[in-house]
Amino acid sequence: MRVAITGGAGFIGGNLARELLSRPEVSRVSVVDDLSTGGKANLEGLDVEFHEGTVLDPGLLDEAFTGADAVVHLAALPSVPRSVRDPLGSHHANATGTLQVLEAARRAGGPHVVAASSSSVYGANPVLPKHEGLRTAPLSPYAVSKQATESYLVAYHHCYGLRVLPFRFFNVFGPLQPAGHAYAAVIPAFVDAAVAGRPVVLHGDGSQTRDFTYVGTVCRVLADAVLRGVAHPEPVNLAFGTRTSLRELLGELESLVGAPIAVERTGPRAGDVPHSQADNSRLRSLFPDVEPVPLREGLARTVEWFREGVQG
Ligand SMILES: NC(=O)c1ccc[n+]([C@@H]2O[C@H](COP(=O)([O-])OP(=O)(O)OC[C@H]3O[C@@H](n4cnc5c(N)ncnc54)[C@H](O)[C@@H]3O)[C@@H](O)[C@H]2O)c1
């Protein structure tokens, strides 16, 4: 089986390429990535066919999708605050980029298309846990662009019969996720600071909650989806229904690094949602065998990865 990954040089994409190449059924992995937030180092040592450039380039997509049985579309500018600063940039990469990927999939003869949407589409809707039947209420340009991503997949299924699987990722974390830049996600930012003995920066009072999912679990589900050809005409939450506050996260981290962590408090960020927790009945019905890596174990692997980086 041949699989193309857009955004394959990113955090989730690099982990997914590794997971797919470990499966005997997969004979080729091609990657399209413009290296805007990802890096070739994430694919180091992996036998992938690399196409450097943007998903907005139809010719490049045609090259990368030739002969592909499945496309996993992860390419996007993945940050809420980045989209607040540059809404058009997020729209081009995430919404128009998805449309280009779907058009290229049609030209390539209709491979199975699995794509990453986001829990941020639930936005202002306060109901917990979030089930896919809830009204979506995006609060940021990023969330709007992800709503477009999943809606285009659904529309391409209905209009052109494309086999699609739009996933809503929640907060994914683990090795390869970068810290130390303005748009870093909370776990790498906390782990990086904690391992280096610096204070962590906490936006708001730490009571906000998230359904954290270890990247290895996400990649196992993605690989299983691709290998079994799992399609669904509506979005599917990819998370496991846990609800951890940032204060609880800091507590877990303190016990893992074995030292107290100093906290610098700052104001809440525009576009952030207060609470997030998935209902995963739809995921469970499609992937009954998946067992998530528990938060503590995933955090321990993440701490280990950051420590290796610090040591050189
Ligand atoms: N990490 C999370 O918690 C999370 C949560 C919800 C959704 N997602 C989604 O999952 C996907 C992967 O996210 P990630 O966390 O691995 O982020 P990432 O930034 O590490 O990966 C995105 C990759 O896409 C590439 N890219 C960006 N714009 C591109 C373009 N125009 N053309 C080609 N490549 C482009 C980047 O260089 C990068 O390698 C994204 O679609 C993101 O929106 C992630």
Locate the ligand 1 atom nearest the alpha carbon of residue 171 and give its number. Answer: 3
Q: What is the mean pLDDT of the chain?
A: 96
Report the separation in Å between the CA atom of 188 and the middle of ligand 1, taken as the mean of its atom positions.
15
Q: What is the pLDDT of residue 298?
A: 98
The mean pLDDT value for 102-129 works out to 97
Distances 236 to 154, 202, 264, 281, 287 between C-alpha atoms, Å: 11, 30, 36, 9, 11
Please tell me the residue having the least CA distance from ligand 1 atom 34. 33
196 has pLDDT over 70:
yes
Q: What is the pLDDT of residue 32?
A: 98
CA angle, corner 241, sides to 220 and 177, nearest 5?
Answer: 50
The mean pLDDT value for 303-311 works out to 86
270 has pLDDT over 80:
no
User: pTM of the full predicted structure?
Assistant: 0.97
Q: Which two tokens stand for residue 129?
A: 């846990």
CA dihedral 70, 138, 277, 215 (to 10 degrees): 40
Question: How many other CB atoms are there within 10 angstroms of residue 274's CB atom?
Answer: 11
Report the separation in Å between the CA atom of 147 and the middle of ligand 1, taken as the mean of its atom positions.
15
125 has pLDDT over 60:
yes
Q: Of 5, 12, 88, 244, which is best to mutate to test ligand 1, by the most ligand atoms within 8 angstroms of its C-beta?
A: 12
pLDDT band for position 180 (50/70/90)? confident
Q: Of 5, 72, 74, 142, which is best to mutate to test ligand 1, by the most ligand atoms within 8 angstroms of its C-beta?
A: 74
181 has pLDDT over 90:
no
Report the separation in Å between the CA atom of 260 and the middle of ligand 1, taken as the mean of its atom positions.
32
pLDDT digits (tens, 9 = 90+) for 233-262: 999 999 999 999 999 999 999 999 999 999
Report the separation in Å between the CA atom of 259 and the middle of ligand 1, taken as the mean of its atom positions.
32
Distances 212 to 63, 239, 242, 276 between C-alpha atoms, Å: 35, 7, 7, 9
Q: Rounded to an integer, what distance in angstroms lies between the CA atom of residue 201 and that of residue 280?
A: 31
Q: What is the pLDDT of residue 188?
A: 97
The mean pLDDT value for 205-222 works out to 97
pLDDT band for position 310 (50/70/90)? low
197 has pLDDT over 60:
yes
Q: What is the pLDDT of residue 264?
A: 96
Q: Rounded to an integer, what distance in angstroms lies between the CA atom of residue 156 and that of residue 178?
A: 33
Domains identified in the chain and CATH numbers: 2-173+214-240+279-286 (3.40.50.720), 186-208+242-277+295-311 (3.90.25.10)
312 has pLDDT over 70:
no
pLDDT digits (tens, 9 = 90+) for 60-90: 999 999 999 999 999 999 988 899 999 999 9
Residues enclosing ligand 1, CB less than 6 A? Answer: 6-7, 9-13, 32-38, 54-56, 74-78, 93, 97, 116, 118, 169, 171-172, 185
Q: Of 6, 16, 19, 34, which is best to mutate to test ligand 1, by the most ligand atoms within 8 angstroms of its C-beta?
A: 34
Report the separation in Å between the CA atom of 36 and the middle of ligand 1, taken as the mean of its atom positions.
9
Q: What is the pLDDT of residue 147?
A: 98
288 has pLDDT over 90:
yes
The mean pLDDT value for 266-274 works out to 81
The mean pLDDT value for 208-217 works out to 97
291 has pLDDT over 80:
yes
pLDDT digits (tens, 9 = 90+) for 34-66: 999 999 999 999 999 999 999 999 999 999 999
Higher pLDDT, 180 or 144: 144
Locate the ligand 1 atom nearest the alpha carbon of residue 178 and give its number. Answer: 20
Report the separation in Å between the CA atom of 74 and the middle of ligand 1, taken as the mean of its atom positions.
5
Residue 47 contacts residue 30 (beta carbons within 8 Å): no
Pairing of strands 70-73, 49-52: unpaired
